[in-house]
Amino acid sequence: MKIAYIITAYQDPQQLGRLVHALDYQGKTSFFIHIDKKVDIAPFRNKCKAEDLTFIKDREWVSWAGFSQVKSLVKLLCCVFQRSEFFDRIVCISGTDYPVCSNQKIFEEFDTHSDLQYIIAHNISQSKNRAKISQYWLCDFKVKSRFIWKCWYHASSKILKFLSKVIGRRTKIFLNGSLCDVWFSSDYWALTNDCALYLLNTFNENKKFQQEMKYYFAPSELWAATIICNSKFKNSIVKIFEDAPEVSDVTPLSYLEYYSTGVRVMNETDLKKILNSKKIFFRKAASVVSDELLTVIDQLRNRGC
């Protein structure tokens, strides 16, 4: 069995290097990494060492909640399938994730559930809270200043909200020749080779789908689930939520705690909660803040836990 890890990152090269080192396993893992174009890639190259590691050369300038995040994931998948070798499992994680269990147990988990798609979804087209898709959004704006970006985001959001009311916007998307429901999930998932290839090919073949996704809010949380849940692979996903879930409820891979300010960085006091979650990973880990926690987890992983 072979695993391809596709990883998006934009900060903390030391943490990313530690993540890659932790997951590198007996020649059975390959790493495909996208570093945000707005940051210098050199520190990440210096910190990340593995037997099989590829940094994406054609990088995206990634904006928060923008379509650019989807484009970075698509480029990672393209890189995976350009290889002549076969990967049994394609695992999408962030640079701030960290494994909780040993590599052997990760492989055993995926091997035992060889047909399971590790993605949890909710039908947002049928949900009461449809703001992500019922109005137009424009979050891709190439500027490094967080202050300027926020000014742009708030101004454009108000204008687009008004236009959405005037023009109107449907809550279904054009996919494979028909209007389909839009599904919400986590950015991060683990798919079988067949499902990941279907995801990539379907995305590339549906230009109208791509155009509509550009003007959703956080389309990286929508594109994969929408394609998968409008296909035969829907029957093999982890879970479907009938009611709108919390962000932490749609993460089949990682334990996290989400607040209004975002995902909280974990430290050594969170160990018990992380272990009790029975998740494969947790997020967020950060160098310095999470160092003691990662040291304990590494000790447990080395004992085969």
In this structure, what CATH number is given to the domain that contains residue 9? 3.90.550
Q: Is the residue at 19 inside a domain?
A: yes
pLDDT digits (tens, 9 = 90+) for 241-293: 988 888 889 999 999 999 878 899 999 999 999 999 999 999 999 999 999 99
pLDDT at 304: 85
pLDDT digits (tens, 9 = 90+) for 131-177: 999 999 999 988 878 788 788 788 888 888 877 878 888 999 999 99
The span from the CA of 73 to the CA of 90, in Å, is 12
Q: Is the residue at 150 inside a domain?
A: no
Q: Is the residue at 145 inside a domain?
A: no
Per-residue pLDDT band at 24 (split at 50, 70, 90): very high
pLDDT digits (tens, 9 = 90+) for 76-86: 999 999 999 99
pLDDT at 171: 95
pLDDT at 159: 83
Q: In Å, how far are 27, 34, 38, 169, 208 from 60, measured between CA atoms? A: 29, 8, 8, 28, 21
> CA angle, corner 158, sides to 153 and 161, nearest 5?
115
| Number of domains within the chain | 1
Strand partners, 29: 3
Question: H or E segment at 240?
Answer: strand 237-241
Q: Is the residue at 224 inside a domain?
A: yes
Q: Which of 219, 256, 252, 213 is nearest to 236 (CA)?
A: 252
pLDDT digits (tens, 9 = 90+) for 196-209: 999 999 999 999 99
**pLDDT at residue 72 greater than cutoff 80:** yes
- Asked if 31 and 20 count as a contact pair (C-beta separation under 8 A), the reply is yes
pLDDT digits (tens, 9 = 90+) for 88-128: 999 999 999 999 999 999 999 999 999 999 999 999 999 98
Q: Is the residue at 38 inside a domain?
A: yes
Q: Is the residue at 133 inside a domain?
A: no
The span from the CA of 220 to the CA of 67, in Å, is 7
pTM of the predicted structure, to 2 decimals: 0.95
- Asked if 217 and 132 count as a contact pair (C-beta separation under 8 A), the reply is yes
DSSP string computed for 54-75: EE-SS-----TTSTHHHHHHHH
The residue-averaged pLDDT of 39-54 equals: 97
pLDDT at 39: 96
pLDDT at 173: 98
Strand partners, 259: 262
pLDDT at 61: 96
Sort 22 into a burial class: Cβ within 10 Å, 0-12 / 13-18 / 19+: middle
Q: Which of 1, 16, 2, 205 is nearest to 94 (CA)?
A: 16
Per-residue pLDDT band at 87 (split at 50, 70, 90): very high
Q: Is the residue at 144 inside a domain?
A: no
Range of the domain at 255: 3-122+185-302
Q: Is the residue at 114 inside a domain?
A: yes
**pLDDT at residue 188 greater than cutoff 90:** yes
**pLDDT at residue 10 greater than cutoff 90:** yes
